[in-house]
Structure 1
Amino acid sequence: MAKDPQRRAAWTEVATDYVLAHGLIGLSLRPLAAELDTSDRMLIYHFGSKDALVADVLRCSNDRAVAQLAALPPSNGLSDAVGDLWDAVQSAPADRCTRIYVEASALGLFGQEPYASVVRDANAVWTAALVGHLVRSGVAADLAPRAAELIDAAFMGFQLDLPLDIDPAARLRAVADLTTAVTALA
């Protein structure tokens, strides 16, 4: 039996939906295979390994979040862009994609593969999407990468706090403070 790239691509989409609903840490192939109406052995056959499957899921998830940013209309300048980007990463599907990214990043911090490599690559794609939105919003091309770095770092910190039930008003103040900090770069 030859490996079918179309089946792999279709299974990657469904596997991504499964991981977005159930999480990445502790992912077991048997329940995932049941969701795909196949066996864990067939998943390994088509993907080569669990790590390759996870890498495909992480790429697919990141692509979905990036597509959501790419679809955003331009913001009215840098100040509005911060709020618009925060709203985007807090709405579906980017909110779930970001949570999966945070899980993968945590595993990647310890050098665990495929997480470290995929997260590194995803960072480049994600940052380019942030820069693209900022430039479309009128931010100077030389300032946009610096602003995107600061925005991304703060958003990741905010994402880590989300499960802690931080006061929503405090989070909004933090986003406002981030806006002040980012606009001071200009």
Structure 2
Amino acid sequence: MGRHKQPEIRDRILDACVDHALAHGLPDRLEPLVKATGCSTRMLIYHFGTRDALLRETLRRARQLQREFYGDLLSPKPGEPYLSTLRRAWQAITGPEGRPYLSMFGKLRQDAEQQLWPNFRREATTDWLQPLEDGMRTVGRPELATLVLAVIRGLIMDVEATGDTPRADRAFDDFLDALVLGHRLTAPQRRYADALSST
């Protein structure tokens, strides 16, 4: 009679794989994960079936953690102006706690073949749109959520390419200042500004 797999052991192994991947990147071989988990190659295959299956589950668990972390950062907070929430969220996303996720999923986004996660770029494009819409709704401009998301993604790509975080920080502050100015416009002024931006 075969042994029954123990979900708690499998979860513990997967957590160790996620920790290793966030710290060092997703490996293309099992050996680094064998060392990180303290398990044999045979044990990893027993619990996950194949190397690619383990790597896929590692990515998906890491993505779940990122969604929870970033989603909480970007959600509106009672008593806090949302643009202040965005400023604080940007610092956390690009700071020590958030950067490992950017590194891991930035590489996955650049992977032309996307064998481990087909259509990842499409799925990941709007991950944070809902909390941004909820937040921008508090300042009366939920339709700007896509613009805010595009600026965040663009500046993240800038940081990943250049490593120039201070310059990206200044650019994000300038963007938030522009949003504050737009929020202070009267309704006719805002309609005029919107008409200019659409021409």
- Map 1:12-91 → 2, pairs under 5 A: 12-24=14-26, 26-72=27-73, 74=77, 75-78=80-83, 80-91=84-95
- Gaps of at least 5 residues in structure 2 are 184-189, 191-199
Q: 1:39 to 1:118 in 2, by over 3 A?
A: farther
Question: Which structure has more RCO (C-alpha within 8 Å, separation ≥ 6)?
Answer: 1
1:65 alignment partner, SS class: helix
Larger radius of gyration: 2
2:118 alignment partner, SS class: helix
Residue deviations 1:138-182 (CA, integer Å, cap 9, x gap): 244742532343234224323423xx343x442232223433565
Q: Percent identity?
A: 23
CA contact (8 A) 1:105 1:119 kept: yes
CA contact (8 A) 2:108 2:114 kept: no
Q: Structure 1 counterpart of 2:16, which letter? A: V
- Map 1:4-19 → 2, pairs under 5 A: 4-19=6-21
Once residues 182 and 29 of structure 1 are traced to their aligned partners in structure 2, the CA distance between those partners, rounded to angstroms, is: 47
Once residues 121 and 42 of structure 2 are traced to their aligned partners in structure 1, the CA distance between those partners, rounded to angstroms, is: 26
Q: Structure 1 counterpart of 2:108, which letter? A: A
- Gaps of at least 5 residues in structure 1 are none
TM-score by length of 2: 0.71
TM-score by length of 1: 0.75
TM-align CA RMSD = 3.0
Once residues 115 and 178 of structure 2 are traced to their aligned partners in structure 1, the CA distance between those partners, rounded to angstroms, is: 35
Q: Structure 2 counterpart of 1:160, which letter? A: E
CA contact (8 A) 1:151 1:182 kept: no
Q: 1:5 to 1:120 in 2, by over 3 A?
A: farther
Once residues 147 and 88 of structure 1 are traced to their aligned partners in structure 2, the CA distance between those partners, rounded to angstroms, is: 20
Q: When the two structures are aligned, how many residues end up with a matched partner?
A: 177
CA contact (8 A) 1:69 1:129 kept: no
